[in-house]
């Protein structure tokens, strides 16, 4: 295995890193001015949500601010970053969707939680045996290690493709001490999910970078928030993308505010699901775009001759 990825502005190199290691680091993906603007808006939003009692603190000492698409123009501008989309297209192809857009605060004492971002993907099967896990029976905790289907899942002959690509945008310097995102290089080709009992001693590697760097990883790559051993939170933004066949984590068709939709570009509208794909996601044949408040045809019947003639 070659030297592990380091932050780079060379997109061709970043794509090679993604193919070999399952992740890459984009240096200077955000300017210092953009970082400060994002943090300022984020702290305002967090303070307001905390005051209203709607803040989200997870058991592993990680706090979320979700659905950032609605929470400031600065977030909507960031989501169209050209360097990011060059990498996402490399992983997912020309058409894909924004699945979720969150802020992550790793507070002091935050713990690891090993996972991949397509944990829900059923393991491959073949024509000689029954599917090991039914698609609707996959769970976050159950589809791990050798606990599904026996030891034959450890090194399957075939593996699922990447159908998710995620980016963690560093709004602080990410260090080993403050809980930088951990990844296992090459784990995207393992064909299985990580397990805390089996894989605690895997090659967990911190993705280190200065504020403004983005670590991008595909959906099969094992990763986790690191342990924050400092006295301050470590802040990042996550932009999760999925192939257009899959359900998004956040329901942008229903949840995006009218004000955001009114000012959204076609690029953003397509990204959040307002353009059908291969006949999926529409409601009448031939509609290139869907709109809220515009509905598919309802119950109809031909008008009967004379039934509506005026009385004499």
Question: DSSP for 221-251?
Answer: S-EE---B-SSS-EEEEEEEEE-TTS--SS-
> Which of the residues in the chain have pLDDT under 50?
146-154
Per-residue model confidence (pLDDT) at position 124 = 78
* Dist CA 107 CA 310 (whole Å): 74
The predicted pLDDT at position 303 comes to: 80
Q: Which pLDDT score, from 0 to 100, does residue 192 have?
A: 87
- Return the sign of the alpha-carbon dihedral for residues 32, 34, 36, 42: negative
Instruction: Look at residue 255 in the predicted model and tell me its pLDDT.
Output: 97
Residues 6+ apart with CB under 8 A from 48: none
Residue 147 has what pLDDT? 36
CB 143 within 8 A of CB 133: yes
Domains detected in the chain: 11-250 (2.60.120.620)
Q: State the pLDDT at residue 2.
A: 73
pLDDT of 311 reads 59
For residue 285, the model assigns a pLDDT of: 67
Interval 162-173: pLDDT, tens: 999 999 999 999
**Distance (Å, whole) CA 17 – CA 70:** 33
C-alpha to C-alpha distances, 273 to 31, 97, 98, 250, 300, nearest whole angstrom:
28, 6, 8, 11, 28
Instruction: Look up residue 283 and give its DSSP letter.
Output: S
Residue appearing with tokens 């380091």: 6
Residue 250 has which token pair?
Answer: 């956040």
């Amino acid at each position: 295995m070659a030297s592990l990825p380091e932050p780079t502005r060379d997109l061709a190199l970043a794509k090679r890193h993604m193919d070999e290691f399952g992740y890459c680091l984009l240096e200077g993906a955000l300017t210092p001015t953009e970082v400060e603007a994002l943090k300022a808006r984020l702290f305002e939003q967090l303070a307001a949500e905390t005051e209203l009692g709607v803040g989200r603190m997870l058991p592993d000492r990680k706090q979320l601010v979700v659905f950032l698409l609605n929470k400031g123009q600065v977030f909507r501008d960031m989501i169209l970053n050209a360097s990011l989309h060059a990498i996402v297209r490399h992983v997912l192809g020309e058409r894909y969707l924004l699945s979720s857009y969150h802020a992550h605060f790793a507070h002091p004492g935050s713990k690891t939680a090993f996972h991949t971002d397509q944990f829900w993907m059923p393991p491959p099967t073949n024509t000689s045996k029954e599917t090991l896990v039914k698609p609707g029976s996959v769970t976050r905790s159950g589809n791990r290690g050798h606990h599904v289907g026996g030891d034959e899942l450890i090194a399957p002959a075939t593996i699922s493709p990447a159908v998710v690509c995620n980016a963690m945008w560093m709004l602080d310097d990410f260090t080993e001490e403050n809980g930088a995102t951990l990844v296992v290089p090459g784990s995207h080709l393992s064909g299985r999910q990580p397990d805390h009992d089996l894989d605690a001693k895997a090659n967990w590697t911190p993705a280190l970078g200065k504020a403004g760097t983005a670590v991008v990883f595909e959906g099969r790559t094992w990763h986790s928030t690191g342990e924050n051993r400092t006295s301050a939170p470590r802040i990042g933004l996550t932009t999760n993308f999925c192939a257009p066949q899959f359900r998004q984590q956040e329901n942008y068709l229903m949840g995006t505010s009218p004000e955001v939709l009114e000012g959204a570009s076609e690029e953003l509208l397509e990204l959040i699901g307002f353009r059908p794909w291969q006949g999926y996601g529409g409601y009448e044949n031939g509609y290139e775009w869907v709109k809220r408040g515009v509905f598919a045809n309802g119950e109809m019947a031909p008008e009967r001759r004379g039934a509506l003639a005026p009385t004499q």
